[in-house]
Amino acid sequence: MAMLKYNLIPKPNFYKTLDGTYTVSSGTKVLCAEEFLTAGNYLTAYLKTSPVSTEGAIKFKKVGGMEPESYKLKVSPKGIFVEASDARGAFYGAVTLKTILMQATKKEGKAVVNGLLIQDAPQYSYRGVQMDESRHFFGVKTVKQVLDMMAMLKLNTFHWHLSDDQGYRIESKVFPLLNSVGSTRKYAGLQGFGFKHRGGEYSHYYKQEEIREIVAYAKKLHITVIPEIDVPGHTLAMLAAYPELSCTGKKIEPACENGILEDILCAGNEEVYTFLEKLFQELCSLFDGPYFHIGGDEAIKGHKLWEKCPKCTSVMQAQGLKSPKELQGYFMTRVNAMLKKYGKTCIAWNDCINDNFDSSIICQYWFPNNLAAVRKQASHRDFILSPENYFYFDEKYARVSLKKVYKFNEVKVGFAGVGQHIRGIECEHWSEWIDTDSALQFAMFPRLFAVAEVGWTKLANRRYRDFYKRLAWYKTYLNKIGINYSRLEKGRAATRQVIPYHFGADGKEYKKSEELKAKESF
């Protein structure tokens, strides 16, 4: 393929240059069918016009028979034509065109676009970004900025981790203690893995109207929002609000520590299931997408409590469950059934999944342990891949370098031959250490560009050196809009270090700053 003049990430899967040019000005009309209005609006917001339904030199046309999310874009002296079969495909045509217009040669306020033909479709249907707002909270403005960058990179799923040991972050009108108790912890900075408690009280949650605002904002960008309510472990904030839901009933507080903690929802108490039914009913009125993440990870310490709990052991006996792991299968199956009633497909982390789980539950693979058993699941269950050694962006660039992320392919992480069950990939922004917008941006960029290309561009069309050249324009864009990014993308030693995380600011390798040390010492 002849080189395109434009620096597009993700790289289109097919393109060629055509003779001639077309000149776009702010007066150029965008003709757009009603069902492709999200595409038309995205483009005209940039051109500062509105879509029209009569004649226009830029035309969005619906055609039959194209693959989901795919689009065709043609620029010729006669005009600019975008074709797609679905609204998401048309939207990605608009995204590509807008990026080209941003880069095109400008003459007297007009953009001269070189003739070209792009025919493009994604490698994976699931191209996700996760944000953890339990450990640290970022708010509406930051989330919208992340969604904007995702749309620009054709990333289509936002996995929103809103409940964990360190804070419950959604307004609940049904269970108000989730907010008055569960959304507040004693210290802003968490202790553990080399860090000490810092700062004062930390109290945040999203009002319901803010959740609705973000879900609606994402929808206009063709991004599906998946809420995660992590159960039965990672629930200290919930249990602080309603201690009667644990095996012991003991009073606890939302955690100010990092790591795997012990307390867990009781799997043998019917009150727990009633509570979750009501909570999910409320949450499903806020999140209208087809998926719900039910967590299920790192419940191992809680399993020890289940073994000692009369209610849990009695359910194990009655149901013929031989281990706490099987009891977790029973618990997750019931949770899945509750959400199925609202039409949701559930997702859970790989370390809890076993054969007891309904095969409709999608497995999110994060921990490269027990790979043989996990792979077996992939023969009859859909998977999302986010192995921590490639896609945990809270980890240092020294371990998860830009190049490493870019070089990902499913065969490398042991999923050869089960391709039909791999829906896609996702990068994670756990926020134990990511405590400011600047730190979030540092972790995310430039690695998000690599994730976007891995998710969209077919392996045979990917070249790191070529990607790296195209990245230069996107860095100037980040500079322009004031987004921080790491300059140490190339990485060094690929070994796990004592503290494998960044900490600090301003695009330097994060080190504990003097200022931070001073804060820690009070």
Residues binding ligand ACM (CB under 6 A)? 297-298, 349, 366
DSSP assignments along 195-229, one per residue: B--BSS-EE--B-HHHHHHHHHHHHHTT-EEEEEE
Rounded to the nearest whole angstrom, what is the least distance from the CB of residue 366 to ligand ACM in the complex? 5
- Neighbouring residues of 468: CB distance < 8 A, sequence distance ≥ 6: none
Q: Which residue of 247, 256, 363, 384 would you call a contact of Zn ion, by CB under 5 A?
A: 247
* CA angle in degrees (0–180, nearest 5) for 99-102-108: 150
Rounded to the nearest whole angstrom, what is the least distance from the CB of residue 163 to Zn ion in the complex? 19
Pick from ligand ACM, Zn ion, none: which does 247 bind, CB < 5 to 8 A by kind? Answer: Zn ion
Pick from Zn ion, ligand ACM, none: which does 366 bind, CB < 5 to 8 A by kind? Answer: ligand ACM
| Closest CB to Zn ion among residues 35, 271 | 271
Pick from ligand ACM, Zn ion, none: which does 298 bind, CB < 5 to 8 A by kind? Answer: ligand ACM
> Residue 5 and residue 95: Cα distance in Å, rounded?
16
| Closest CB to ligand ACM among residues 298, 453 | 298
Pairing state between β 202-203 and 184-185: antiparallel
Q: Which residue of 149, 255, 309, 398 would you call a contact of Zn ion, by CB under 5 A?
A: 309
- Neighbouring residues of 94: CB distance < 8 A, sequence distance ≥ 6: 39, 40, 42, 43, 60, 82
| Closest CB to Zn ion among residues 178, 266 | 266
Q: Are 31 and 59 contacting, i.e. CB atoms less than 8 angstroms apart?
A: yes
CA 72, distance to chain mean position in Å, is 27
Rounded to the nearest whole angstrom, what is the least distance from the CB of residue 349 to ligand ACM in the complex? 5
Quick check: helix, strand or coil at residue 145? Answer: helix
Pick from Zn ion, ligand ACM, none: which does 311 bind, CB < 5 to 8 A by kind? Answer: Zn ion
| Closest CB to Zn ion among residues 306, 445 | 306
Q: Which residue of 144, 196, 311, 519 would you call a contact of Zn ion, by CB under 5 A?
A: 311
Rounded to the nearest whole angstrom, what is the least distance from the CB of residue 264 to ligand ACM in the complex? 14
Rounded to the nearest whole angstrom, what is the least distance from the CB of residue 79 to ligand ACM in the complex? 48
Pick from Zn ion, ligand ACM, none: which does 128 bind, CB < 5 to 8 A by kind? Answer: none
Q: Which window, 163-171, 312-320, 391-399, 411-419, contacts Zn ion (CB under 5 A)?
A: 312-320
Pick from ligand ACM, Zn ion, none: which does 238 bind, CB < 5 to 8 A by kind? Answer: none
CA 124, distance to chain mean position in Å, is 14
Rounded to the nearest whole angstrom, what is the least distance from the CB of residue 135 to ligand ACM in the complex? 12
Pick from Zn ion, ligand ACM, none: which does 233 bind, CB < 5 to 8 A by kind? Answer: none
> Residue 294 and residue 347: Cα distance in Å, rounded?
6
Reported as half-sphere exposure (CB side, CA atoms, 13 A), residue 342 has a value of: 22
272 binds Zn ion (CB under 5 A): no
CA 491, distance to chain mean position in Å, is 23
Q: Are 328 and 298 contacting, i.e. CB atoms less than 8 angstroms apart?
A: no
> Residue 156 and residue 298: Cα distance in Å, rounded?
27
Pick from ligand ACM, Zn ion, none: which does 309 bind, CB < 5 to 8 A by kind? Answer: Zn ion
Q: Which window, 77-85, 285-293, 305-313, 414-422, contacts Zn ion (CB under 5 A)?
A: 305-313
Size of interface with Zn ion, in residues (CB under 5 A): 6
Rounded to the nearest whole angstrom, what is the least distance from the CB of residue 367 to ligand ACM in the complex? 7
| Closest CB to ligand ACM among residues 428, 453 | 428
Reported as half-sphere exposure (CB side, CA atoms, 13 A), residue 143 has a value of: 27
Q: Are 176 and 475 contacting, i.e. CB atoms less than 8 angstroms apart?
A: no
419 burial level (CB within 10 Å; 0-12, 13-18, 19+): exposed
| Closest CB to ligand ACM among residues 22, 366 | 366
234 burial level (CB within 10 Å; 0-12, 13-18, 19+): buried
Q: Which residue of 266, 335, 361, 402 would you call a contact of Zn ion, by CB under 5 A?
A: 266
268 binds Zn ion (CB under 5 A): yes
> Residue 299 and residue 308: Cα distance in Å, rounded?
15
| Closest CB to Zn ion among residues 173, 250 | 250
Rounded to the nearest whole angstrom, what is the least distance from the CB of residue 293 to ligand ACM in the complex? 10
For the segment 177-196, give every residue that binds Zn ion (CB under 5 A): none
Which residue ranges make up the site for Zn ion (CB under 5 A)? 247, 266, 268, 309, 311-312
